[in-house]
Structure 1
C-alpha cells in the first residue's frame, strides 16, 4: 500500500491559483497550511472544557445510552478535536482519524499520542473512504460535511463502512440562514477592527500587516473550501436516501452565534498577547450563558432553521 502523502504547508502561487477551481485541492492546501496553528486559532484544547463541549454535542443529537462505542472513525478529523475529546469523555474506546489533508492527520496523530489514546490514521477522501465494509461501530465528524463536494456519495460511504446497526454523528455544520448572518457579522467586525486599529492611539492593537495579509489570503481560500450550507430537513433527506434509518437533525446556537462570530473575528484581527486569560474567560462564560439561553428558551420558540449549527445522527439498518 502506498504511503500517505506528506504535508505541504507552503503551497506555491500556481497551486493556490489552481485550488480556486478545485475544491478538494483547496481543502488540502488550506488545511495543510492551517494544521500547525489550527488548535490555537479555534481555541481547541483536550481538557475538561472541550471534553464537555464534544460530549455535549454528541449527547444532544445521539444520546448516551450506547456508550462506549468499541471502534469509531472521524471523517475530516482536522487535528482530532471531536474524536480525541469524545475518547477522553468515555464515548469511544478505539479511534481512527481520517482527513484529506496530510498535515491535519499528522497533527491529529501527534495529539492522540500525547494524550495516550489508541488511535490510528489515514489520509482519506470522504467520497472514497479507504476502509472495508462494516468496519466501525460509529462514524463521526465535526464541521466537515460542508467541505465535501458530493454529500450523497459521502453518506453512502459512511453507510458502507458502518457495521449493521452502527451510528453516525455529525455536528458543527452551518445552516443556510445561520451562515448568512455569521459571515456578515464576521466581515463587519474584521473591517471595523482593522480600520480602528490604524488610529495612532490604538496602533498597538493592530496585528502586523503581513499577518493581516496572510489572514486575508487564508480567508480567500476558505471561501473555496466552505462549499455547502444546510437546511436541516434537506440534510435528513440526504442521509435517508443513503439508506440510513432513525435519522434526526437538531440545531443550536442563535444568541451564542450572534456573540461568538464577532468575538472570534476580533480575536483573529488583534495581537494575541493583547488578550489575556480574563478575556478568554469572559468570552467562554458569555458563550456558555447564551448557549443555555438558546437551549432552554429560544429553541422552544424559534424555527430550527434560524440557528447556526446543525447536528445530525442516524443508523445503518441491522
Structure 2
C-alpha cells in the first residue's frame, strides 16, 4: 500500500521537546516516535499466550458473548499494535487496519503484524480525522488512546462514521481520574527513591547511566503533555452518547494490581535491565495476576467503579446509521 506518511523521528532534541511542551500533537509524535522501538520491552508487551489472553480478557470483560470473528477491524492509536494484533490472534477479527499519529508506532505495528503473519494495513493519522471511508469497519478498538486525544467526542464521532451500521467499538486501558492520581504519586515516589538510593556505594551498579536517566526524564516531561485526560466512567459514557453511540457500557479494573504495577514498571525503567532476571519477571507478573484476582473477585464488590485505575467502554453504531 503506497502512502505519503511521514518517516519516524525517534531522537527529539532538547529544543524540540521544549517546543512540544506548548503543542500537544507535536508532543504526541515526538514522545511516541521516541518510544516506538523500545515500547514493547518497556511495557512487557508480547504477542504470545500471555498477552493474547490479556487482550482477549479485556475485550470479553466489556463485550461479553458475541458472534466472532468480526470481518475488518481498526485499531485507533495503535502504538505497536498490542491490542488489535493480539485480538486478531485470539480470533476476534479476520483482517485489520492500524492508525497512529506517530509514524514510528505505525512502522513497528506493521512490522509486528508481518512477523505474526496477520493481514493488516496502516496509516499515520489523527484520531479526529480518520482517513477511511464511511461504513468501512465492523469493529474499532483502542487501548490507552482516548486520554491522548484533545477532542474525545470528535474522535468517537469519527469512529462511528467509519463503523458499519451495527458495528461496535471497544476502548480499554483508559486512566480513571482517581486512579491516575494515585498511580502518578506512587510512580514519582518510586523513581525518586530508586534514583537516590542507587547513588550510594555498592548500589551504584544498579543505577542506569546518567544520560539514560536524563533521557527518561525528558521522555517523562513529554509524557506529562501527551496524557491530556483522565476519565470518570459515567462522564466518558455520556461523551460517547453525545457522539452518537448507542448501547454504551463502561467497566473498570485494577486497583490493588495498579498499586503494584506502577511502581514495578517505574523501578524497571530506573535500573539496568540486566539486573532483573526471570525471578523478577515471575514476581511482577505473578503478583499482578494475584492482585487482579483480588480486584475482580473481592474489591469490585465493595469499591465504586471510579476508584479503579483502568476504564473500559463499548458501544455500537445505530443499525439504522448511514
Shorter-chain TM-score bucket reads over 0.9
Report the equivalent of 1:171.
172
Report the equivalent of 1:38.
39
- Alpha-carbon distance change, 65 to 194 in structure 1, aligned in 2, over 3 angstroms: same
C-alpha displacement of 1:13:
3.3
Report the equivalent of 1:77.
78
Q: Which runs of 5+ in 1 are unaligned?
A: none
Equivalent positions of 1:1-318 (< 5 A) are 3-318=4-319
In 2: Cα distance, 1:146 partner to 1:167 partner: 20
Secondary structure of the structure 2 residue equivalent to 1:169: strand
Q: Please give the per-residue CA displacement for 1:259-317, whole angstroms capped at 9, x wherever unaligned.
A: 11111111111110000011101110110010011001100110000000000001001
CA contact (8 A) 2:17 2:218 kept: no
Q: Please give the per-residue CA displacement for 1:95-131, whole angstroms capped at 9, x wherever unaligned.
A: 0010000000000000000000000000110000000
Secondary structure of the structure 2 residue equivalent to 1:131: coil
C-alpha displacement of 1:201:
2.0
- Detail structure 1 runs of 4+ shifted over 6 Å in the superposition: none
In 2: Cα distance, 1:104 partner to 1:201 partner: 38
C-alpha displacement of 1:21:
1.0
Secondary structure of the structure 1 residue equivalent to 2:86: helix
In 1: Cα distance, 2:93 partner to 2:3 partner: 29
Secondary structure of the structure 2 residue equivalent to 1:198: coil
In 1: Cα distance, 2:272 partner to 2:13 partner: 27
Relative to the length of structure 2, the TM-score reads 0.97
Secondary structure of the structure 1 residue equivalent to 2:168: strand
Secondary structure of the structure 2 residue equivalent to 1:140: strand
Give the root-mean-square deviation of aligned CA atoms.
Answer: 0.9
Secondary structure of the structure 1 residue equivalent to 2:19: helix
C-alpha displacement of 1:64:
3.4
Relative to the length of structure 1, the TM-score reads 0.99
C-alpha displacement of 1:86:
0.3
In 1: Cα distance, 2:22 partner to 2:208 partner: 31
In 2: Cα distance, 1:193 partner to 1:102 partner: 33
Secondary structure of the structure 2 residue equivalent to 1:3: coil
- Deviates further, 23-32 or 63-72: 63-72
Secondary structure of the structure 2 residue equivalent to 1:61: helix
Secondary structure of the structure 1 residue equivalent to 2:84: helix
Secondary structure of the structure 2 residue equivalent to 1:215: helix
- Alpha-carbon distance change, 208 to 252 in structure 1, aligned in 2, over 3 angstroms: same
C-alpha displacement of 1:63:
1.5
Q: Please give the per-residue CA displacement for 1:209-247, whole angstroms capped at 9, x wherever unaligned.
A: 111111000000100000000000000000001111110
C-alpha displacement of 1:2:
5.5
C-alpha displacement of 1:15:
2.4
Q: Please give the per-residue CA displacement for 1:34-62, whole angstroms capped at 9, x wherever unaligned.
A: 10100011000000000000000000101
Q: Which runs of 5+ in 2 are unaligned?
A: none
In 1: Cα distance, 2:185 partner to 2:143 partner: 23
